[in-house]
Chains A and B, each alone.
Chain A
Amino acid sequence: MTFTERAKQWLEQSSRNSLGIAVGVAVLLTAVGGAFNRGFVSPSNLLNLLAISSLLGLAAAGQTLVVLSGGEGIDLSIGAVISLSAVLTSQISNGQNGLLFPAVVVTLVVGALLGLVNGLGIYLAQVPPLIMTLGMSSVIEGIVLVYTQGQPKGQAPPFLATLGTGQVLGIPWLIIVWAVFTLIIWYVLKHMVYGRLLFLVGDNRSAGRMSGVPIAKLVVGTYALSGFFSACTGILFLGYTNTTYLNIGDVYILPSVAAVVVGGTALSGGRGGYIGTVVGAILLTVLDSLLTTMHMGEATRGIINGVVLLVLLSIYTRQPKDA
């Protein structure tokens, strides 16, 4: 077998295993960073990279579910819900541990409700997800502006700040929190009725309906979950930054979609999973950090980021010939 034949075969086979490619690329990028600067692969920097990834990873958790659910599912209100959640938690708790619990409860409920409204608009009113969540996004941003009068007050209670920046046995709390979330989401997708049906309904919604799946509950519930995960992200983000400002969540809108797609979840729904998104979030964070380490300008970083995404996706979408 010649080298090109072998390369071709590898590409064919690996295109079925996008997760493997993503892991490979993430490791490769880390190695490149290490070659460029030894400090890049030091344990503390790697843990720091993981901690930063965890916020993107959590923001992309809801996105993963929404994309998996099919029907051109996408949630562009993730950024706005994150911003609102950080503001809500900081204003309600006002930097006091004692008020943290009610603040978190209110924030999570509001996040889930906003997601629920998304779901209802999409399922009942048949608004395309892209439009519905984009519209929701600007509504929420407007509400935040009115609520804060442009000047968000308060700060993270000490407990939350510890969760956002502190460590236990040298491991950042953020990573531990993310690991717990990952485990739960993995279990839900793999073993719970909701998760199992989500993949099937995402593949073919009409077939799901005719097989007796309660589509309305499943789809609307998925958008509510996305709102819930965004709220979680917003709360942790507040802990990470300690104070908040307007539209802090905006930086996550498109990266959350990118992490999902780089992780091998098909935008058409029904294929992929959260482990892929975890790898996708790490890959994107490492890439961004690497380019910063190499002192690249804003423009160059943008270009390279884009090129890496496009190359990965073009490999994933190569369909095996027998399918």
Chain B
Amino acid sequence: MLTIEGLRKEYGAVVALQGASLTLVPGTIHALLGANGSGKSTLVKMLGGVVRPTKGTIWVDEQRLEVGSPAHAIHKGIAVSYQETSLVPSMSVADNVLLGIEPTGKAGYVAQRSLRERAAEILDQLGLNIPPDVPVGELPTNIQHLLEIGKALVKRPKYMVLDEATAALRREEVKRLFSIVCSLRDEGVAILFVSHRFDEVYAICDRATVLRNGAVVGTRSLSNTSREELIQDMIGRRISLEPVQQKTGTSFKKQAVCLKARSLTNAELRGVDLEVSAGEIVGIGGLQGQGQTALLRALIGATTVRGDLETDGHQGLFRNPSHAAGNGVRFISGDRGREGVFGQRSIYENIVIGRIATFPLWKRASQRGENQAARALVEQLKIVHHSLFQEVRGLSGGNQQKVLFARTLASKPNVVILDDPTKGVDVSTRMEIHRLLRNLAGEGVGLLIASSDDEELAEVCDRVLIMYEGQIVRELTGDLQPSHITKASIEGAQSEKGKGAETRADSL
């Protein structure tokens, strides 16, 4: 028996999990459900010993699990298949599957033959017909996810955790996984199955625990619980915040369309159509990892994609982000440190690049009054600083985000595409950024915002598109409520019947 008792995790001021408890019984499959940011992944990582709890205990067979020790978790019979996989791309299939538990010979060297044999066994069990010597990085994502599961299976666990294990798999692969999982259950293994697919949960699970905002809402037996009850548990009652600013409320059908995409398709997208009008803010919601980021990147030409694109004055897909920027389509990445700011360069330079990035390289960049222009933006956005020439890495996250906005404003864009624009910023900065977005739309710029925060989408957007497995399955308009967006996201997971149907939020 594995018992989780009052598990709590704080990241600075953010509470990811506030005292979660649940029990895994041998010979059962236990579902763990919850919307974005409800704390599922944090819980899973603590079981695997990857994340240290701030408080609380995990008991395995009446013994306390050492915190923050993946090796001890494995020793106690816990194996985790992680959502984002824990494979080493450059290492071979066999080495990956047996990573950390390599069979060793007398002198401590790795026994290659037995390593390959054991890896082959697991591949066979998973129905994978791939050579064990190829580097994992060269394999398609569905195979990689199967290998991640194989890596857990090979440990012959007593407690197995599958975090969104089926998300990347094909139908027949899911079937095969289920037969393996069910036979494990019959052998007395306890399985924690984290998923957002209700069909799958009902197909194999005995009980379900629902998390909401980091707390356990309850554990129910699935045989006498309906989907509606589970969804209700996941959404709960949310307090909706007053909108920062009154939305314009105009009908955008009359406005000029400034971004129009048709049947965008690649490994992560399955035919996405969308339109953004000048002055409109369109949100992209849905459960995490449904292709939102892939869609944004496809639009600016940062990844390869098939389909068609039309913007103000340009016809066709963009070759690269520079091509998009040159046509007035600007992007603000959700990964501020890696793809946003130039940390060692000054605030001033970080802003001016917005204006000069797409100029011919041999042109003169300096301009009379460019200092004043940058300073005006810094004041306008209330960026807290002591000098225009200080390094950006010395600023707080919220102020760095504002620098990215200043850069975008300096570029005079037609369309701005944003990924999680308020990730990791404090409440007041968040409100300022929302106000900025509305102002930008007021000036006739079209905005497309992907966010995992449904309150944010409800607050700033005129229209929200819900994505599920690489498709847009719902469109919400009218009076947007965070709970409606969350509900639509979860229901998108339940069935895809809603595709193409325009659902008015107030009719929900």
A215 to B353, CA, bound (A): 13
- Say yes or no: B321 contacts A196, CB within 8 Å: no
We find that the number of chain A residues with CB closer than 8 angstroms to chain B is 29
Question: Nearest-CB distance from A113 to chain B (Å)?
Answer: 19
Question: Nearest-CB distance from A207 to chain B (Å)?
Answer: 5
Among A195, A196, A211, point to the contact of B325 (Cβ < 8 A): A211
- Say yes or no: A207 contacts B330, CB within 8 Å: no
- Say yes or no: B344 contacts A193, CB within 8 Å: no
- Say yes or no: B365 contacts A209, CB within 8 Å: no
Among B302, B342, B360, point to the contact of A200 (Cβ < 8 A): B342
Contact with B along A163-190 (1 / 0, CB 8 A): 0000000000000000000000000001
- Point out the residues of chain B lying under 8 angstroms from A221, CB to CB: 361
Residue B345, interface by CB 8 Å: yes
Known: A207-B340, A213-B353. A197 touches B325 (CB 8 A): no
- Say yes or no: A196 contacts B344, CB within 8 Å: no
A212 to B342, CA, bound (A): 14
Residue B366, interface by CB 8 Å: yes
A271 to B322, CA, bound (A): 23
- Say yes or no: A212 contacts B326, CB within 8 Å: yes
- Say yes or no: A200 contacts B358, CB within 8 Å: no
A248 to B147, CA, bound (A): 55
For window 353-386 of B, CB contacts with A under 8 Å fall at 353-354, 356-366
- Say yes or no: B357 contacts A211, CB within 8 Å: yes
Residue A34, interface by CB 8 Å: no
- Point out the residues of chain B lying under 8 angstroms from A8, CB to CB: none
Residue A94, interface by CB 8 Å: no
- Point out the residues of chain B lying under 8 angstroms from A191, CB to CB: 364-366
Instruction: Give the contact stretch, choosing among B38-46, B331-339, B452-460.
Output: B331-339
- Say yes or no: B362 contacts A207, CB within 8 Å: no
- Say yes or no: A322 contacts B345, CB within 8 Å: no
Question: Nearest-CB distance from A232 to chain B (Å)?
Answer: 18
For window 27-62 of B, CB contacts with A under 8 Å fall at none
Question: Nearest-CB distance from B390 to chain A (Å)?
Answer: 10
A206 to B360, CA, bound (A): 20
For window 227-270 of A, CB contacts with B under 8 Å fall at 270
- Point out the residues of chain A lying under 8 angstroms from B321, CB to CB: 209-212
- Point out the residues of chain A lying under 8 angstroms from B339, CB to CB: 204, 206-207, 209-210
A294 to B300, CA, bound (A): 62
- Say yes or no: B365 contacts A271, CB within 8 Å: no
B363 — nearest CB in chain A belongs to which residue?
A193
Among A200, A215, A322, point to the contact of B322 (Cβ < 8 A): A215
A256 to B91, CA, bound (A): 38
Residue B309, interface by CB 8 Å: no
Most chain B C-beta atoms within 10 Å of own C-beta, residue among A193, A194, A209, A271: A193
Known: A199-B345, A213-B322. A323 touches B354 (CB 8 A): no
Residue A218, interface by CB 8 Å: yes
- Say yes or no: B363 contacts A192, CB within 8 Å: yes
- Say yes or no: A196 contacts B365, CB within 8 Å: yes
A197 to B331, CA, bound (A): 18
- Point out the residues of chain A lying under 8 angstroms from B361, CB to CB: 192-194, 197, 214, 217-218, 221
Residue B349, interface by CB 8 Å: yes
Residue B391, interface by CB 8 Å: yes
- Point out the residues of chain A lying under 8 angstroms from B300, CB to CB: 210
Q: How many A-B residue pairs have CB under 8 A?
A: 104
Most chain B C-beta atoms within 10 Å of own C-beta, residue among A199, A200, A211, A221: A211
Residue B352, interface by CB 8 Å: yes
- Say yes or no: B366 contacts A190, CB within 8 Å: yes
A200 — nearest CB in chain B belongs to which residue?
B342
Contact with A along B443-455 (1 / 0, CB 8 A): 0000000000000
- Say yes or no: A196 contacts B322, CB within 8 Å: no
Residue B343, interface by CB 8 Å: yes
A214 — nearest CB in chain B belongs to which residue?
B322
A199 to B343, CA, bound (A): 11
Residue B393, interface by CB 8 Å: yes
Residue B484, interface by CB 8 Å: no
Residue A203, interface by CB 8 Å: yes
Known: A196-B349, A211-B325. A270 touches B363 (CB 8 A): no
Residue B324, interface by CB 8 Å: yes
Known: A191-B365, A323-B394. A212 touches B341 (CB 8 A): no
- Say yes or no: A192 contacts B362, CB within 8 Å: yes
Known: A191-B365, A192-B363. A197 touches B345 (CB 8 A): no
For window 293-323 of A, CB contacts with B under 8 Å fall at 322-323
- Point out the residues of chain A lying under 8 angstroms from B359, CB to CB: 193
- Point out the residues of chain B lying under 8 angstroms from A196, CB to CB: 349, 352-353, 356, 365-366
A210 to B362, CA, bound (A): 21
B350 — nearest CB in chain A belongs to which residue?
A200
B419 — nearest CB in chain A belongs to which residue?
A210
- Say yes or no: B353 contacts A197, CB within 8 Å: yes
Residue B151, interface by CB 8 Å: no
- Point out the residues of chain A lying under 8 angstroms from B365, CB to CB: 191-193, 195-196
Question: Nearest-CB distance from A38 to chain B (Å)?
Answer: 44
Contact with A along B277-304 (1 / 0, CB 8 A): 0000000000000000000000010100
A206 to B320, CA, bound (A): 12
Among A195, A204, A214, point to the contact of B343 (Cβ < 8 A): A204
- Say yes or no: B344 contacts A270, CB within 8 Å: yes
A270 to B350, CA, bound (A): 13
- Point out the residues of chain B lying under 8 angstroms from A213, CB to CB: 322, 353, 357-358
Most chain A C-beta atoms within 10 Å of own C-beta, residue among B302, B343, B344, B356: B344
- Point out the residues of chain B lying under 8 angstroms from A208, CB to CB: 342, 353, 357
Most chain B C-beta atoms within 10 Å of own C-beta, residue among A208, A212, A213: A212
Across the A-B interface, give the 6 residue pairs with the lowest CB-CB distance, nearest first: A212-B325, A194-B361, A212-B357, A191-B366, A193-B365, A203-B342
User: Residues of B with Cβ closer than 8 Å to A?
Assistant: 300, 302, 320-322, 324-326, 330-331, 333, 338-345, 349-350, 352-354, 356-366, 391, 393-394, 407, 411
- 24 residue pairs from A and B, CB less than 8 Å apart: A190-B366, A191-B366, A192-B363, A193-B362, A194-B361, A197-B356, A200-B342, A200-B349, A203-B342, A203-B343, A204-B342, A204-B343, A207-B340, A207-B342, A209-B322, A209-B339, A210-B339, A212-B326, A212-B357, A213-B322, A270-B342, A270-B344, A270-B345, A322-B394
Contacts beyond the supplied A208-B353, A211-B407, A212-B321: 6 A-B pairs with Cβ under 8 Å: A203-B342, A209-B322, A210-B321, A212-B325, A212-B326, A215-B322
